[in-house]
Structure 1
Amino acid sequence: MLETTVNFLNALLWGKLLVYGLVGAGLYFTIRLAFIQLTYFKHSIKVMTMSRQGCESGLSSFQVFCTSMAARVGAGNMAGVAVAIGAGGPGAVFWMWLIAMLGMATAMVESTLAQVYKTRDHDNQFRGGPAYYMEKGLGQRWMGMLFSVFLIIAFGLVFNAVQANTITGAMDVVFSVSPLYMGIFLVITSAFVIVGGLRKVAKVSEIVVPIMAVAYILIAFVIVASNIEQLPGILMLIIKSAFGWQEVAAGGVAYTVAQAMQSGIARGLFSNEAGMGSAANVAASASPNPNHPASQGFVQMIGVFSDTIVICTATAAIILLSGDVTSGSDGIKMTISAMTGHVGTWGGAFVAIAILLFCFTSIIANYSYAETNVLFLSGNSRKVLPLFRVCVLGMVMFGAVAKIDLVWNLADVSMGLMATVNIIALVLLSGLAIRVINDYRDQIKAGKVPEFDRSKFPELQEQVSEDIWPDLSPNEAEQIKS
């Protein structure tokens, strides 16, 4: 019964609503922002280089970037890419690329709004995200509560089960470690980090994420370089399969355009989270540099690009260059098999360790997203956090021993419901977001270091506290020169 209901909801959400909603929203924001993900790509990288400075109330933009990447880079990048290719063929990779490019503009909008409407919790730390801009910007607390419930289910519970499931699958295949024992290990190590709250998560992510991402990209680069003569053919296979022009040679399986689109968009969103509203929760925790809401949007655009265009493509290249694209829905086994085929038996061990690090950091970052929304629902009361942490750790244990297909399908449903609510809010608030982003770009064009002046946006006078974003005097505004 549960499986039937989950499959029905997935077919409705991913077969119809979100395919059009995500692509449509991304295209709308891309056009309204004049292809900002392309025209300001270099500027986004420049902002990243200035992102290590934070303050007592907020994390640095680099810490936020690493925390959001910790959540993004995980099962979706390694097992999820394999699942997408297994279900939709090589063409699914094309649709992952497309949703990532459009999603960069969506991430720009949602992260900017998260910064505009951020607030302080009882520890004087910045908090925010979709629930907050739904309540403050739209005046619809019920909508923020609905989003929070979906996010808590998705990130606090289901997604952490997915990450644990992927870890135990990899460790079982490569090292024959019992899922039960691996689950106990994950519960203990996760508990050690999450009891420290958002700052502890950010510190761990800042150390682990860059190391593991660079190592994985380097090994993928070596594999691609070793098979460089096959690369043009692989790229053509992806394009042809995306539009149903190619019957996959291995087994003669023909994939439809709908299969490729559904698999690619679903797995692409699971991986890069653009439009889902999840990364916006941690984006609000930053003290951005320059001190303008849009600057954090530029940082988050690089996060989407790095996750899908770089890391997911690396996994896709490893799998497609192996020639095996029809080995079923067990994604992590497909990825391990492909890596082992390229570099020998040590490749499986490398993937298993990478999965352990990728997915563990995803678990702790997912918790941080959920924590912000638990506090939103509880009115910033921290009394509920111990019980919530027990529930999170319980789902980690459940995921370690659960059936993979049902866990992935539950993840798709909860993610789809989150994304649906968030996209509606983003469209309704897009006018303000675009004006804020244009204000940033106007200051850049005028040779100024962007600084946010709340007085330029009359509607924010009642919605945003002056201690978050103050009104600047004419003299202060004039003095902000590059």
Structure 2
Amino acid sequence: MMNIEEILVQIKDWVWSLPLLILLFGTGFYLTFILKGIQFRYLFFGIKEVLSKSSKRSQGDISHFEALMTSLAGAIGTGSIVGVATAIAIGGLGSLFWMWVTAIVGMATKYSESLLAVEYRELDKRGEMIGGPMEYIERGLGWKWMAVLFSIFGVIAAFGTGNLVQVNSIVESVNMIWDIHPVVVGIAIAVLTALVILGGVKSIGHVSGILVPVMAIFYVVGGLIVVGLQYEKIPAVLSLIFKSAFSGQAAFGGFAGATTMMAIQLGVTRSIFSNEAGLGISSIAAAAAKTDYPARQALITMVGALISTLIVCTITGFVIALSGVQGLADSTGKTLNGASLAVTAFSTNLKGGEYIVAIGLFLFAFSTVIAWAYYGEKCFEYLFGEKSVLPFRILFTLAVIPGAILKMETVWTLADIANGLMAIPNLIALVLLSRVIGKRTDEFIALIKSGKA
């Protein structure tokens, strides 16, 4: 008889089977086609707009920059370190290639989600913007039932992906280096979370605007130093990544080997975990931005997928690949995976490298917790009204503590299930509302070309 963990793994494999992968890639390629490669043509415009000031006619709660940083706070979490390490440990180095492909295609998806979130957002009774898939599904398609489904999955994912997974990974990394009791770490994170999220989206946006750039630069610079020390191995690693992406990776040491399908599945799921393209959830942050045109904020948000996956995740992947620790076992004989694999990879090539991972994980995970608190809050508000906001914030904060003691494998599996279920209604909505996406994009591009944007 199967135990609960085996049942959850089967559900996860069913959710993330070929139909969802086709829907994800198909939607991304379709949006890339109808938008004429928006992620290539206007990437630099989006980057330039990140630091631009909002016009006087703009509506919203937080700045362009704070909205992007909140979106990145939710995306650059443990998926960028632990998620990548898990993908390589199970799916092989080929999973990195599929992460890149998913991120590039996903930039058009992320753009489209953010455009619709701003297009269909509205003010709630507290004077705050509320927008995201639940709003564009209901107001754009008129499908209240599907909007409710998304919101339910969004709340579940907020507690799983945005809370339990993040806290669990913080505890694991802290425990490896400082040996602090998990409950103590959980209580400390809960207090810090309460201090930020009880102040609402403006508090979250302000903290994210400071925390995300600092943590990203810290981790990327640390990772580049490690990569630089092993630069002569880069061509061989690239060759192995591309080869493994299409032919799988043979077993060696404690590595059980990986098929092409395993590489694709792990690459896609971990890429989505790190940039959230297709989930729709990060568009809730875009909906809060002070902006005048939906497409302007969409171009800014699109940059997030480039930073979170193509830069941060790649750094983690290369450090692990160059270190040669894939397939090795720890002191207990268990094959290195997750945070332990990342910590070993960094510390193998750089003295004190384990602190880069530990500090990076803490900052990444904490920023994700506060961003997902906002996402979950808006989904909860959609379901139960404005009066439910404070109870949700309290419940979300308290959920941090059990997250500190749950088993990593179970938590990750639950998070993957919630993400997959959330993606389905969102991707359907993106395809059905593609005419709106195309129209608003054409209007804004015309403004750019005329110099009026």
**Same fold by TM (over 0.5)?**
yes
Kindly indicate whether residue 119 of structure 2 is the aligned counterpart of residue 116 of structure 1: yes
Partner Cα separation in structure 2 for residue 47 and residue 93 of structure 1: 29
Kindly indicate whether residue 337 of structure 2 is the aligned counterpart of residue 330 of structure 1: yes
Kindly indicate whether residue 287 of structure 2 is the aligned counterpart of residue 284 of structure 1: yes
- Which of 158, 167, 170 pairs up with 1:167? 170
Determine if contact 1:52/1:62 at 8 Å carries over to the other structure: no
Question: Residue type of the partner of 2:338?
Answer: G
What value does the CA root-mean-square deviation take over the aligned residues?
1.7
Cα distance change on mapping 1:390 and 1:447 into 2, 3 Å: closer
Determine if contact 1:53/1:60 at 8 Å carries over to the other structure: no
Determine if contact 1:89/1:248 at 8 Å carries over to the other structure: no
Report the CA distance between 1:372 and its aligned residue.
1.1
Partner Cα separation in structure 2 for residue 241 and residue 268 of structure 1: 17
Corresponding residue for residue 411 of structure 1: 415
Corresponding residue for residue 398 of structure 1: 402
Deviates more, 1:388-397 or 1:235-244: 388-397
Partner Cα separation in structure 1 for residue 371 and residue 214 of structure 2: 16
What secondary structure is seen at the aligned counterpart in 2 of 1:107? helix
Kindly indicate whether residue 343 of structure 2 is the aligned counterpart of residue 342 of structure 1: no
Report the CA distance between 1:250 and its aligned residue.
5.0
Partner Cα separation in structure 2 for residue 314 and residue 161 of structure 1: 24
Corresponding residue for residue 229 of structure 1: 232
Question: Residue type of the partner of 2:92?
Answer: G
Partner Cα separation in structure 2 for residue 77 and residue 438 of structure 1: 34
Question: Residue type of the partner of 1:353?
Answer: I
Corresponding residue for residue 299 of structure 2: 298
What secondary structure is seen at the aligned counterpart in 1 of 2:277? coil
TM-score (norm 2): 0.94
Corresponding residue for residue 387 of structure 1: 391
TM-score (norm 1): 0.89
Partner Cα separation in structure 2 for residue 368 and residue 148 of structure 1: 13
What secondary structure is seen at the aligned counterpart in 2 of 1:254? coil
Deviates more, 1:118-127 or 1:29-38: 118-127
Pairs within 5 Å for 1:452-471: none
Report the CA distance between 1:281 and its aligned residue.
0.7
Question: Residue type of the partner of 1:354?
Answer: G
Kindly provide the CA deviation profile for residues 295-319 of structure 1, in whole angstroms up to 9, marking residues without a partner as x: 1111111001100000000111111
Kindly indicate whether residue 187 of structure 2 is the aligned counterpart of residue 184 of structure 1: yes
Kindly indicate whether residue 365 of structure 2 is the aligned counterpart of residue 352 of structure 1: no
- Give the unaligned 5+ runs of structure 2: 329-334
Corresponding residue for residue 429 of structure 2: 425
Partner Cα separation in structure 1 for residue 175 and residue 157 of structure 2: 25
Report the CA distance between 1:340 and its aligned residue.
0.6
Corresponding residue for residue 332 of structure 2: none
Partner Cα separation in structure 1 for residue 45 and residue 307 of structure 2: 15
What secondary structure is seen at the aligned counterpart in 2 of 1:49? coil
Question: Residue type of the partner of 2:419?
Answer: M
Deviates more, 1:110-119 or 1:1-10: 1-10
Kindly indicate whether residue 34 of structure 2 is the aligned counterpart of residue 28 of structure 1: no
Kindly indicate whether residue 149 of structure 2 is the aligned counterpart of residue 146 of structure 1: yes
Percent identity over paired residues? 37
How many residues are aligned here? 444
Determine if contact 1:53/1:61 at 8 Å carries over to the other structure: no
What secondary structure is seen at the aligned counterpart in 2 of 1:263? helix
Corresponding residue for residue 41 of structure 1: 43
Report the CA distance between 1:445 and its aligned residue.
2.1
- Give the unaligned 5+ runs of structure 1: 450-482
Corresponding residue for residue 310 of structure 1: 311
Corresponding residue for residue 381 of structure 2: 375
What secondary structure is seen at the aligned counterpart in 1 of 2:399? helix
Partner Cα separation in structure 1 for residue 37 and residue 336 of structure 2: 35
